[in-house]
């Protein structure tokens, strides 16, 4: 049953990509399909990234420990949709114009933060296998803290893209603040507990 649920979650995560592919095929993506593809793939990348970040707080608050088996999948889907988002920009918006892309990265802040968010996700995706977890040991957890910086950069990318500080971009920023805030509170409590715990007496 658990395996079937995991397969169902895996397939469900592909639904947004399937719907966008269908919309592109039948011409149902509005007057500017390229912009629709960029926006939707970017938003879904952000959603899956936040979903992967939500696993740990939900485990700690509600005791839903089985959610941990979906965290890596959600993170990889975030990278998958972020890659689609990047491809739509490189192919449909810039037509492989590398000079123009590098100029955008240097001159347009929302592109800068978007590229930063994607770049930080690359080592996370590459080291997401069990083999890499064994090889890196404790360093793996340190490396995967890059996800916090990637999420922050992605949120700033979204806010700068739409050029407004109201509505959907702010809601995502608030969700990220809660997800990171829970981690900070838990970390501070652990440090306080260690500091207050009695030290063993010297022999």
pLDDT on residue 31: 87
**169 CB contacts (<8 Å, ≥6 apart)?**
155, 158, 159, 161, 162
Give the CA angle between residues 77, 81, 86 to the nearest 5°: 145
The pLDDT of residue 137 is 84
Do 152 and 173 form a contact (C-beta atoms < 8 A)? Answer: no
If one compares 199 and 168, the residue with the highest pLDDT of the two is: 168
pTM (2 decimals)? 0.88
Distance CA 116, CA 110 (A): 10
Written as one string, the DSSP assignment of 14-69 is THHHHHHHHHHHHT-S-S-HHHHHHHHHHHHHHHHHHHHHHHHHHHHHH--GGGHH
Phi, psi for 165 (deg, rounded to 5) = -115, 35
pLDDT for 154: 94
Q: What is the pLDDT of residue 138?
A: 83
Q: What is the pLDDT of residues 41-85, one digit of tens each?
A: 999 999 999 999 999 888 887 777 888 888 999 999 999 999 999
- Among 85-89, 96-100, 163-167, name the one with the lowest average pLDDT: 163-167
Instruction: Reply yes or no on whether the pLDDT at 200 is more than 60.
Output: no
**Under 8 Å between Cβ of 105 and 41:** no
Position 105 confidence tier, pLDDT thresholds 50, 70, 90? very high
Mean pLDDT, all residues of the chain: 87
pLDDT value at position 67?
A: 83
Using CA atoms in the order 190, 194, 197, 203, what is the torsion angle rounded to 10 degrees? 160
Higher pLDDT, 195 or 65: 65
CA distance 27 to 84: 19
- pLDDT for res 199: 60
What pLDDT digit, counting tens, does each position of 112-152 carry?
Answer: 999 999 999 999 999 988 888 888 888 888 888 899 999 99
Would the pLDDT of 163 be above 80? Answer: no
DSSP 165: S
């Amino acid at each position: 049953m658990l395996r079937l649920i995991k397969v169902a979650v895996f397939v469900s995560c592909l639904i947004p990509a399937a719907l966008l592919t269908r919309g592109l095929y039948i011409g149902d993506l509005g007057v500017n399909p390229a912009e629709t593809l960029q926006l939707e793939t970017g938003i879904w990348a952000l959603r899956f990234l936040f979903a992967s970040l939500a696993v740990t707080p939900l485990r700690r608050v509600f005791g839903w420990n089985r959610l941990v088996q979906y965290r890596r999948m959600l993170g990889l889907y975030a990278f998958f949709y972020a890659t689609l988002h990047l491809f739509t920009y490189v192919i449909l918006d810039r037509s492989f114009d590398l000079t123009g892309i590098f100029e955008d990265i240097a001159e347009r802040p929302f592109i800068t933060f978007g590229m930063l968010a994607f770049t930080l996700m690359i080592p996370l995706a590459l080291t997401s296998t069990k083999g890499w977890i064994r090889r890196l040991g404790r360093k793996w957890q340190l490396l995967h803290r890059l996800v916090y910086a990637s999420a922050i950069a992605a949120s700033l990318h979204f806010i700068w893209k739409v050029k407004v500080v109201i509505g959907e971009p702010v809601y995502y920023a608030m969700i990220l603040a809660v997800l990171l805030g829970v981690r900070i509170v838990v970390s501070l409590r652990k440090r306080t507990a260690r500091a207050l715990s009695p030290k063993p007496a010297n022999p």
